[in-house]
Amino acid sequence: MSGATELPRNPGEPLDLDVVRAIRVNRSAVERRAATIPTRRTVKKEWQAAWLLRAITLMDLTTLSGDDTASNVRRLCAKARNPVREDLVEALGAGSLGVTVGAVCVYHQWVETAVEALAGSGIPVAAVSTGFPAGLSPFEQRLAEIPASVAAGAKEIDIVITRGHVLTGDWQALYDEVKAFRAACGDAHLKAILATGELATLTNVARASWVAMQAGADFIKTSTGKEGVNATLPVSVTMVRQIREYEARTGFKVGYKPAGGIRTAKQALDYLLLMKEELGDRWLRPDLFRFGASSLLTDIERQLEHFVTGRYAAAHRHPMP
């Protein structure tokens, strides 16, 4: 993953069940904190444009549809290379910045296609893996998917956990699972998808976050985007505070990826504000923060065009592949 300085990877640590079982989340307090974020006066004018350009660099531009084809994956990769219309980039004075997205995320079948389309761009390919999205196929089969995607050129692997381990409190099984997935990744970075909408409580979300980090996850991620409830601000407050506690305990920084349901520029700014306030500016770089995004880019482009021209463009002027 790219960043201003290369961070040491989180090596994980032995599972500490006393720490995990001691974690409690006050849902009311978390919800009150989350509710304050969208009500803040947001950044305006050129500051907003700068923040929105930053948001683009933090996107995992994603296509995970059953009707994906090589041609639409290539179009997505072309968009990843040039996510904002050239005339808008020039008008914003950002032509020299080389703005690209953080990564392109696809199924294993399309990893080689995406790697080829992104050659020379520096944009990594992320592959969803381990029986995505349900994670219920046989363990050995799920495990084998990881080195196959790495061999095809994926630099990041988005794995899904077995939700049942969380719901039954089998933290050892969850730790062993994520640790095995991390080992299978080799040099590729592992993003652990917790499917938080299916974990029942914020305490479960916090405990699962901690176990995944102890098992060596480079990122923890909210959702597959396929659940009924995906990324939310209360879940994000819960997860990023576990990241903060983990760094305080171990000295290692772990990344965060909210995914699913983040569709507007205003929502993106809310998440950037959350990261800045809870974790600091270092988590506003693509090696420590990503949006799981498909439709978000369209709205950000529309907001940037409004900044440049004073008018909102029709969505078809900023088409996604």
Judge whether residue 1 has pLDDT over 60.
Answer: no
* pLDDT at position 95: 83
Q: What is the mean pLDDT of residues 44-57?
A: 91
Positions marked catalytic: 158, 221, 257
Mean pLDDT check: name the lowest of 16-25, 90-99, 119-128. Answer: 90-99
* Confidence grade of residue 45 (pLDDT, cut at 50, 70, 90): confident
Which CA distances in Å does 109 have to 64, 105, 132, 139? Answer: 11, 11, 13, 19
Q: What is the mean pLDDT of residues 104-119?
A: 98
* Confidence grade of residue 5 (pLDDT, cut at 50, 70, 90): low
Return d(Cα 35, Cα 56) in angstroms, integer: 24
Sorted by sequence, the CB contacts under 8 Å of residue 199 that are 6+ apart come out as 163, 166, 167, 205, 208
* pLDDT at position 2: 43
Task: Note the helical H segments in 152-311.
Answer: 163-167, 171-185, 202-214, 233-250, 265-278, 296-309
Return d(Cα 266, Cα 42) in angstroms, integer: 8
Q: What is the mean pLDDT of residues 130-148?
A: 97
Q: Which among 272, 259, 260 is positioned nearest to 50, based on CA atoms? A: 272
Q: Sketch out the chain's domains with CATH numbers.
A: 17-312 (3.20.20.70)
pLDDT in tens, 267-299: 999 999 999 999 999 999 999 999 987 789 999
* pLDDT at position 315: 62
CA angle 120, 125, 129 (to 5 degrees): 160
Tokens of 80: 């990843």
pLDDT in tens, 163-211: 999 999 999 999 999 999 999 999 999 999 999 999 999 999 999 999 9
* CA torsion, ordered 24, 25, 27, 33, to nearest 10 deg: 150
pLDDT in tens, 215-266: 999 999 999 999 999 999 999 999 999 999 999 999 999 999 999 999 999 9
pLDDT in tens, 303-320: 999 999 887 766 666 666
Sorted by sequence, the CB contacts under 8 Å of residue 208 that are 6+ apart come out as 161, 166, 174, 194, 199
Letter for the amino acid at 170?
D
Return d(Cα 188, Cα 29) in angstroms, integer: 37
Percentage of residues in the chain having pLDDT higher than 70: 95
Of 2 and 221, the structure prediction assigns the larger pLDDT to: 221
* pLDDT at position 293: 79
